[in-house]
Amino acid sequence: MTTRTTPEPAPAAPLLDLHTLVVTVRRRRRLWGSMALLGLVGGAGTAVLLPPEPTAVTKVLVAHQEDQPTDPGTLIRTDVALLHTTRIAGRALEALGSPEKPEDFMKEYEGSGLTNNVLQIEATGDGEAEAVARVRAVADAFVEDHVRRLREAADAEARTLLDQRDRLRDELAEVNRAIGDDTPESGSGASADRESLFARRAELTSQITEFGQRAAQARVGTPRLVAGTQIVDAPRAVRHSVPATAATNAGIGLALGLALGLAVAAVGTVVADRPVLRRDVAAHLGASVIAELPRATRGLWRRRRIRAAQARLTVSLARTVRDSAEPVSLLELGCARAAGGLALDLAAALPAERPAVVVDGLPDARLAGRRPRPGGPVVVGAQDATAGARRELRLGVGSVAPGTSWTDLPYLGTRTVLVVRAGHGSAAWLHTVARQLAEQHIEVIGVVLIDPDPRDRTDGTLWDAPPSPPRGAGSRTSRQHEVGRPRIERLPKWAARVPDSEQEAR
């Protein structure tokens, strides 16, 4: 009786794996570090190569007739807007004797309100003296215009009050004339009219006096406002410190470059979809990661650790392949140099009673073209490879990079160890490699991960992968028809996730 179980559906992969994103961005630190350094140098260079124009500054105390303690700054913003008018710019140019257009001159000075009554004016020029002269001319033109507007407003108010007073005087003259024309011999009705005329005359006299006083006060307050509007900070040139400006620009450039670099690295990581973590590489290739080799870097201690790790890996692989009755191959993806060196070390580590012949199937035949080392293993090209003696073990070295001839891989070995550089191949291409090896009936012993992330704590073992069947038809038949044990068939997850094309994988 055969029992078939349906595999449990794998959990849906997240749309964006933050762990993988962080690891991949950290691995691309050369990119965002270079962009940050470029921003730092560029920011510092702008301060030296593009110094700011000579600038002068002054401060003007502005008195307003409508000043209120609760004013939110509306009056000073109005003064800033009036500062950028052709009338003030034209008067400043007249004082400077410049033929420049007021519209162009307005672009060379700026005003800002510091408080409700303090206006700061900045102007640029070809030199410090010209900048100081320009800011002084603009400030004088603004003060003159503000004083003129105050006086015109006071005169207009006083004139209105005086006109009202004159109108009341004319009415008072008519009332006085009516009182004078009235005779004492009139009746009781005339007496009442006389009283109303006297009351109206008193009211008009009071209003005339009030309007006269208000007109006087309107003109009396103007000199105080005029005196309060003045330049309180003499025009002076602004000193620019090149080191301080360079430090500020360098900091800004560093921040912008770093942010841009991180953004580019993050976007490139999402778009490229190149697995870096052990679990992702194992899942996409359908084989467990059996060993790791760090990237070769400078430093005596690091080189010793790398050599020790490579020696342990060589011994482990030698135990695996020395008793193999079939040829074994090392297939690289993005690390041809590491795969070639590992093949030579593995061939040298095999016992003398069964030496290994290295078959170089790399695209550029870098191993076969080298000068043989004294006492080193025999290296032949793929076209010169023969079956050899029965006691010899063929150890092939090939590539599964794009452009590989898949039908030639079985001649290198029917069992293989994939030597993959982390982050080199895309997920779609790893699927392609796994599918092609399965179609060529090449058994994958395991994956050797080159240049892994040192902080990777994920597991690269496929716990749910089906066990590799033993070689030989008899053993396979006996395993499938073992009496007393039902056969449970499981589909590996990696086989179900292999797409038909690279575009589908993305």
- In this predicted structure, the answer to whether residue 452 has a pLDDT above a threshold of 80 is yes
The percentage of the chain sitting over the pLDDT mark of 70, rounded to a whole number, equals 79
Task: Tally Cβ neighbours within 10 Å of residue 361.
Answer: 26
Distance from C-alpha of 283 to C-alpha of 496, rounded to nearest angstrom: 11
Inside any domain, residue 164:
yes
Instruction: Please check whether residues 174 and 301 belong to one and the same domain.
Output: no
Instruction: Please check whether residues 126 and 71 belong to one and the same domain.
Output: yes
In the sheet that holds 55-61, the strands lie side by side as 109-113, 118-124, 55-61, 230-237
Distance from C-alpha of 255 to C-alpha of 295, rounded to nearest angstrom: 30
Structure tokens at 346: 């593995």
Inside any domain, residue 37:
no
Q: Which residue has the higher pLDDT, 188 or 444?
A: 444
Return the H-helix or E-strand segment holding 58.
strand 55-61
Q: What local confidence, expressed as pLDDT, does residue 437 receive?
A: 92
- In this predicted structure, the answer to whether residue 396 has a pLDDT above a threshold of 80 is yes
Distance from C-alpha of 396 to C-alpha of 330, rounded to nearest angstrom: 6
Q: How confident is the model at residue 482 (pLDDT cuts 50, 70, 90)?
A: very low
User: In which residue are the tokens 């691995």 written?
Assistant: 27
Q: State the chain's mean pLDDT as an integer.
A: 79
The domain that holds 483 is classified in CATH as: 3.40.50
Q: What local confidence, expressed as pLDDT, does residue 220 receive?
A: 67
pLDDT digits (tens, 9 = 90+) for 14-45: 667 788 888 888 888 889 999 999 999 999 99
Q: What local confidence, expressed as pLDDT, does residue 487 receive?
A: 36
H, E, C per residue of 417-433: EEEEECCCCCHHHHHHH
Q: What local confidence, expressed as pLDDT, does residue 86 receive?
A: 92
User: In which residue are the tokens 């044990």 written?
Assistant: 485
Range in 54-58, 229-233, 364-368 with the lowest mean pLDDT:
364-368
DSSP string, 150-165: HHHHHHHHHHHHHHHH
Instruction: Please check whether residues 197 and 289 belong to one and the same domain.
Output: no
**Which residues, 6+ apart, have CB-to-CB distance to 379 below 8 Å?**
344, 357, 358, 360, 367, 368, 370, 372
Q: Which of 505, 32, 8 is nearest to 261 (CA)?
A: 32
Q: What local confidence, expressed as pLDDT, does residue 58 receive?
A: 94
Instruction: Please check whether residues 230 and 282 belong to one and the same domain.
Output: no
Inside any domain, residue 5:
no
Q: Which of 19, 92, 463 is nearest to 283 (CA)?
A: 463
Q: What local confidence, expressed as pLDDT, does residue 60 receive?
A: 94
Distance from C-alpha of 134 to C-alpha of 351, rounded to nearest angstrom: 92
Q: Which of 377, 374, 442, 376 is nearest to 404 (CA)?
A: 442
What b/e string do you get for 412-450 counting C-beta neighbours within 10 Å, with b at 16 or more? bbbbbbbbbbbbbbbbbbbbbbbbbbbeeebbbbbbbbb
Q: Which of 354, 369, 291, 297 is nearest to 322 (CA)?
A: 354
pLDDT digits (tens, 9 = 90+) for 422-442: 888 888 999 999 999 999 999
Instruction: Please check whether residues 65 and 210 belong to one and the same domain.
Output: yes
Range in 46-60, 137-151, 283-297 with the lowest mean pLDDT:
283-297
Q: Which of 52, 37, 42 is nearest to 242 (CA)?
A: 52
Q: Which residue has the higher pLDDT, 242 or 352?
A: 242
User: In which residue are the tokens 């007109």 written?
Assistant: 215
Instruction: Please check whether residues 293 and 164 belong to one and the same domain.
Output: no
Instruction: Please check whether residues 363 and 456 belong to one and the same domain.
Output: yes
Judged by DSSP in three states, 41 sits in helix
Task: Tally Cβ neighbours within 10 Å of residue 70.
Answer: 5
- DSSP designation for 73: S
Inside any domain, residue 436:
yes
Distance from C-alpha of 194 to C-alpha of 200, rounded to nearest angstrom: 10
- Residue count (the chain): 506
Distance from C-alpha of 313 to C-alpha of 306, rounded to nearest angstrom: 10
- In this predicted structure, the answer to whether residue 490 has a pLDDT above a threshold of 70 is no
Give the domain range for residue 185: 55-242
Q: What local confidence, expressed as pLDDT, does residue 425 receive?
A: 86
Q: What local confidence, expressed as pLDDT, does residue 255 receive?
A: 95
Range in 116-125, 451-460, 461-470, 496-505 with the lowest mean pLDDT:
496-505
Distance from C-alpha of 361 to C-alpha of 368, rounded to nearest angstrom: 9
Instruction: Please check whether residues 180 and 299 belong to one and the same domain.
Output: no
Distance from C-alpha of 291 to C-alpha of 305, rounded to nearest angstrom: 14
DSSP string, 378-422: EEEEGGG-----TT-EEEEEEE-STT--GGGHHHH-SEEEEEEET
Instruction: Please check whether residues 297 and 236 belong to one and the same domain.
Output: no
Inside any domain, residue 418:
yes
Q: What local confidence, expressed as pLDDT, does residue 39 receive?
A: 94
pLDDT digits (tens, 9 = 90+) for 272-303: 888 888 888 998 898 888 888 887 665 566 67
Q: Is 295 exposed, middle or buried (0-12, 13-18, 19+ CB in 10 A)?
A: middle
Alpha helices, DSSP H, located in 241-381:
242-272, 278-285, 300-321, 336-349
Compute the half-sphere exposure of residue 208: CA atoms within 13 Å on the CB side of its CA. Answer: 14
Inside any domain, residue 270:
no
Q: Are 255 and 83 in contact (CB under 8 A)?
A: no
- In this predicted structure, the answer to whether residue 12 has a pLDDT above a threshold of 50 is yes
Q: What local confidence, expressed as pLDDT, does residue 121 receive?
A: 94
Task: Tally Cβ neighbours within 10 Å of residue 171.
Answer: 15
Inside any domain, residue 266:
no
Q: Which residue has the higher pLDDT, 289 or 66?
A: 289
Return the H-helix or E-strand segment holding 120.
strand 118-124
Classify the C-alpha dihedral 466-472-475-476 as positive or negative: positive
Q: How confident is the model at residue 371 (pLDDT cuts 50, 70, 90)?
A: low
Q: Are 464 and 492 in contact (CB under 8 A)?
A: yes
Q: Which residue has the higher pLDDT, 351 or 225?
A: 225
Q: How confident is the model at residue 137 (pLDDT cuts 50, 70, 90)?
A: very high
Inside any domain, residue 237:
yes
- In this predicted structure, the answer to whether residue 480 has a pLDDT above a threshold of 50 is no
Q: What is the rounded end-to-end Cα distance, in angstroms, of the chain?
A: 41
How many domains is the chain built from? 2
Q: How confident is the model at residue 9 (pLDDT cuts 50, 70, 90)?
A: low
Instruction: Please check whether residues 466 and 330 belong to one and the same domain.
Output: yes
Q: Which residues pair with 293 in a beta bridge?
A: 450
Q: What local confidence, expressed as pLDDT, does residue 488 receive?
A: 34
Instruction: Please check whether residues 423 and 487 belong to one and the same domain.
Output: yes
Instruction: Please check whether residues 196 and 299 belong to one and the same domain.
Output: no
